[in-house]
Amino acid sequence: MYLQNLLIGVATNHDVLVYALIIVLAATEGPIVSIAAGILYRWGYFPFLPLYIALMTGDLIGDIVWYTVGYKAGRKFAARFGKYFGITEIGIASFEKRFHTHKDAILVISKLTTGFGFATAVLFTAGLVRIPFRRYITINVLGQFVWTALLIFVGYSFAHLYVTFNNLFARSALIAFTVIIIFFIVRYARYMRKKLVEGQDI
């Protein structure tokens, strides 16, 4: 109860600070933050529109940062720091080839599969190969509308089911099911990373 009252108090009395924090968190861990935000929205901590805009803004800032790093630092950054972000020389070469024939499609796919293990490499490579920024940001904004809404819906649905299930067994089953889904998503992300590192088609 104390934590609930604290969250409500902070969200009510410090709007600017809270939304600024959401933007920063979304720029670094967009999918997780968006799902958590969906849960908090269902529980009444935030109005939808400001939350939605803050999440999209943060995620798009992250996209711009990675594009800029790729554009300005390119392969020097990849060689020195790429291993910490899933950016490999093989992966760059693989996405460079795809950008020649599927510029728009690969950006849309990376946006709609953020967190599956290769989006950062795509965003970085888009800057490296000099995809026009206007084209890059337009596609990402359009994809962001869909992606953020979907993630909020996932969090909202989980919170709604959790509230609807009014006994311990049902809630435990819901949590267990969610953990299983997350497990398979993580395994799939690792599988995609492995294929990328090995230079296989995805």
Dist. CA 129–CA 53, nearest whole Å: 29
For residue 17, what are the CA distances in angstroms to 13, 21, 193? Answer: 9, 6, 36
Query: Angle 31-37-42 (CA atoms, 0-180°, nearest 5)?
Result: 135
Q: Which position has the token pair 């296989």?
A: 200
The tens digit of pLDDT for each residue in 125-161 reads 888 888 888 888 888 888 888 888 988 988 888 887 7
pLDDT at 15 over 80: no
Is residue 176 in a domain? Answer: yes
- SS3 at position 78: helix
Q: How many domains does the chain have?
A: 1
Which one of 9-13, 50-54, 173-177 scores highest in mean pLDDT? 50-54
Q: What amino acid occupies position 130?
A: R
Pick the more confident residue, 184 or 64.
64
Per the prediction, the chain carries an average pLDDT of 76
Which pLDDT band, with edges at 50, 70 and 90, does 1 fall under?
A: very low
Q: What is the pLDDT of residue 170?
A: 62
Q: What is the pLDDT of residue 58?
A: 92
Is residue 81 in a domain? Answer: yes
From first CA to last CA, the distance across the chain in angstroms is 47
Range scoring the smallest mean pLDDT among 16-25, 91-100, 114-123: 114-123
Is residue 152 in a domain? Answer: yes
Dist. CA 158–CA 69, nearest whole Å: 36
Q: What is the pLDDT of residue 4?
A: 46
Q: What is the pLDDT of residue 61?
A: 92
Alpha-carbon dihedral angle through residues 10, 62, 52, 106, given to the nearest 10 degrees = -160
Is residue 202 in a domain? Answer: no
The tens digit of pLDDT for each residue in 88-114 reads 777 777 777 777 666 667 677 666 655
pLDDT at 194 over 50: yes
Mean pLDDT of 9-22: 71
The tens digit of pLDDT for each residue in 52-82 reads 999 999 989 988 999 999 999 888 888 888 8
CB-based contacts of 39: which residues, under 8 Å, 6+ apart?
Answer: 155, 156, 158, 159
pLDDT at 196 over 70: no
Is residue 98 in a domain? Answer: yes
pLDDT at 168 over 70: no
Which domain does 188 fall in, by range?
A: 2-197
